[in-house]
Chain A
Amino acid sequence: MHDFQYHKPGSVADAAAAAAGAEDGSFLAGGQTLIPTLKQRLAAPSDLVDLSGVSELQGITVSGDSVTIGAMTRHADVAASGDVAAAILALAALAGGIGDPQVRNRGTIGGSIANNDPAADYPAAVLGLNATVNTNKRSIAADDFFTGMFETALEEGELITSVSFPVPEAANYQKFHNPASRYALVGVMVAKTGGGVRVAVTGAGPCVFRASSLEQALAGGLSSSALDGASVSADGLNSDIHATPEYRAHLVKVMAGRAADAAGG
C-alpha cells in the first residue's frame, strides 16, 4: 500500500472540504473493499478522508412509511435492528447475509453502494425497494443511481449521507452464494411497492438491474407459479468459471420465484 495523508473530520462539511482540498482524495467508510484495493495497489489516493468520526452519518430512523439509514451505519447494526426488521424484514435479513461477521462489523451501507460492486447485496435492496440515495448535494432515485460496473451517479467529491427506503407491502431477498467467495452469484430482491412490483438482480450482470420481464409476470401476485411462462435473457450477463450467462439467467428466475413465494404476496 502506498502511503497517504489521513484525515478524520467531524462533520459532512469538513469531510467534503478535506476531499476537495486533496490532490486525489478518497472517502474511507468501512474500508472492507477500499483497504484491500489499496493493498493491491489498484488505487493509490493521495488522501483518505475517514468518515467514522462524522456522527451525522450514523444511525437508523424508522418513521411510519420509511426507513432511513445513515451512510456510515454498519451492516451488523442494520441486521440487528429490531426497528428495521419490523418495518422491512427483507432489508435486515439482506444486511445479515453480507460477507462474513467481521465484514459486517466494519462495512457500511454508504460504502457498499458508492462502490457498486457487481456482486454486492445492498444495490439489490436499494434498487428493488425503490430507495432514495441522499447526498450532501441532492437526492438521487435508485433507478438513476447505479450507472455501470463500479459506477454510480455520484459526482467528484459528492458524499452519500443516508439512504431512505419506503416500506414495501411485501419483500424478500434470495441469494445464491458463490460457494468459495460467498458473494452473490445471483441475488434477487422482489418487492411489492406502492408503484408496483420491482425485481432487482445483483451478481448476474456487470451492474445491478431490474428484470422487467419478471416484474410484469409478478404484477398479478407474488408467486413462483406466476413466473412459469416468463424468461430472462442471458444477453450481457456475466460469464466466468463459476457460471455461464445462461446459468445465471436461469438462476435469476429461480431465485426470483423463491423470493416471490417467501414474500408471500
Chain B
Amino acid sequence: MPTVSMSVNGKQYSGEVEARTLLSQFIRDQLGLTGTHIGCDTSQCGACVVHVDGRSVKSCTTLALQADGADVTTIEGLAKDGQLHPMQEAFRENHGLQCGFCTPGMVMSAVDLVNNNPNPSEETIRENLDGNICRCTGYHNIVKAVKAGAQGMGG
C-alpha cells in the first residue's frame, strides 16, 4: 500500500493507506480526529471542510494521497492553549448553530474567507458560504457569527 505523510495541526503523521482513502477518512479513522464531519459525502454540504496548505477544501472530495506532504488544519487545530479561536468564540457568542453538525465546516470555511478578506460584507459572507449547508439555523446567526469572528480575528 502507498504511504502518505502530512502535517496535521502542526504534528507530523504518516501511515499506509489504500490509494482510494479519502482525506476525510484518513483524518477521522486513522488519526482519530472526528471533529471533521462527513455529512453528505457528495461534495455538497461542507461539513468536512479542512484547510490544506492554507486553503479550505472538502476533505471528502480529496484523496489522502493528494494531501501528501501538505500542511493540514482541522477544526481541532484552531483553539490555542485552551482558548477558542476568535471564529469559534463568535459562533458561540452569536448562537451560530443549533445541532452543531455543520459547525466545524462552517468555521473552517469562515476562517479561510476572513484570511483572504479581513472585513467581508454580509453579501460576501453569504456568497462564500455557498459550499456549506446548515439545515437548522436559517443562516442568519451564522452570518452574524462570521462578521463578529472577522472582527475578532482583527479585521
| Cβ-defined contact, B65 with A35, below 8 A | no
A102 to B47, CA, bound (A): 12
> In the complex, how many residue pairs between chain A and chain B have their CB atoms under 8 Å apart?
71
**B66 near A: Cβ within 8 Å?**
yes
Residue from B22, B46, B61, B109 with most neighbouring chain A CB atoms (10 Å) = B61
A2 to B80, CA, bound (A): 39
| Cβ-defined contact, B49 with A38, below 8 A | no
A6 to B68, CA, bound (A): 12
| Cβ-defined contact, A106 with B57, below 8 A | yes
- Chain A residues with CB under 8 A of B20: 1-4, 38
- Chain A residues with CB under 8 A of B113: 101
- Chain A residues with CB under 8 A of B2: 6
| Cβ-defined contact, A31 with B66, below 8 A | yes
Residue from B22, B58, B112 with most neighbouring chain A CB atoms (10 Å) = B58
| Cβ-defined contact, B130 with A100, below 8 A | yes
A3 to B16, CA, bound (A): 14
The contact of B43 among A36, A50, A52, by CB within 8 Å, is A36
- Of all chain A residues, the one with the shortest Cβ separation from B46 is A102
Residue from A39, A102, A103, A182 with most neighbouring chain B CB atoms (10 Å) = A102
* Interface members, chain A 123-181 (any B CB < 8 Å): none
The contact of B56 among A1, A8, A36, A102, by CB within 8 Å, is A102
| Cβ-defined contact, A105 with B61, below 8 A | no
| Cβ-defined contact, A102 with B58, below 8 A | yes
| Cβ-defined contact, B131 with A35, below 8 A | no
Interface residues of A, count at CB 8 A:
26
**A32 near B: Cβ within 8 Å?**
yes
Q: Say how far B114's CB is from chain A's closest CB, in angstroms.
A: 12
Interface string of A1-16 (1 = CB under 8 A from B): 1111110100000000
| Cβ-defined contact, B66 with A50, below 8 A | yes
A39 to B60, CA, bound (A): 10
| Cβ-defined contact, B49 with A31, below 8 A | no
With A35-B61, A50-B66 as contacts: A102 and B19 at CB distance below 8 Å: no
A101 to B20, CA, bound (A): 24
Q: Say how far B91's CB is from chain A's closest CB, in angstroms.
A: 18
With A100-B131, A102-B131 as contacts: A31 and B109 at CB distance below 8 Å: no
With A4-B20, A48-B19 as contacts: A101 and B61 at CB distance below 8 Å: no
**A260 near B: Cβ within 8 Å?**
no
**B41 near A: Cβ within 8 Å?**
yes
A1 to B55, CA, bound (A): 25
| Cβ-defined contact, A101 with B109, below 8 A | yes
* Interface members, chain B 1-57 (any A CB < 8 Å): 2, 18-20, 22, 41-43, 46, 49, 55-57
Q: Give the A-binding residues of B (Cβ under 8 A).
A: 2, 18-20, 22, 41-43, 46, 49, 55-58, 61-63, 65-66, 68, 109, 112-113, 128, 130-132
Knowing that A35-B43, A35-B63, A101-B56 touch, tell me 8 more A-B residue pairs with CB under 8 angstroms.
Answer: A3-B20, A4-B20, A6-B19, A31-B66, A36-B61, A101-B109, A102-B61, A106-B61
8 A-B pairs with least C-beta separation: A100-B131, A6-B19, A100-B130, A105-B55, A1-B20, A102-B131, A3-B20, A102-B58
